[in-house]
Amino acid sequence: MALLTPVYDLLFGTLFGRDAFVRTKFINLTQALESLHRRTVGGTYLSASEFDPIKDLLNAAVPPDVPADLKRKLSDSLEYANEYSLRKRLKELLRGLDPSTIEMLKIQDIAGTTDVIVRTRNCLTHFNESQRTTIADDIVGLHFMNERLTALLFVLILKRLGVGEGACAWSELRATE
Q: Sorting pLDDT into bands at 50, 70 and 90, what band is 61?
A: very high
| pLDDT of res. 5 | 73
User: What stretches of the chain show up as alpha helix (H) in DSSP?
Assistant: 5-16, 22-40, 48-60, 68-80, 86-95, 99-104, 110-125, 139-160, 170-175
Q: Mean per-residue pLDDT for 62-76?
A: 95
Q: Sorting pLDDT into bands at 50, 70 and 90, what band is 82?
A: very high
Q: What is the pTM of this model?
A: 0.79
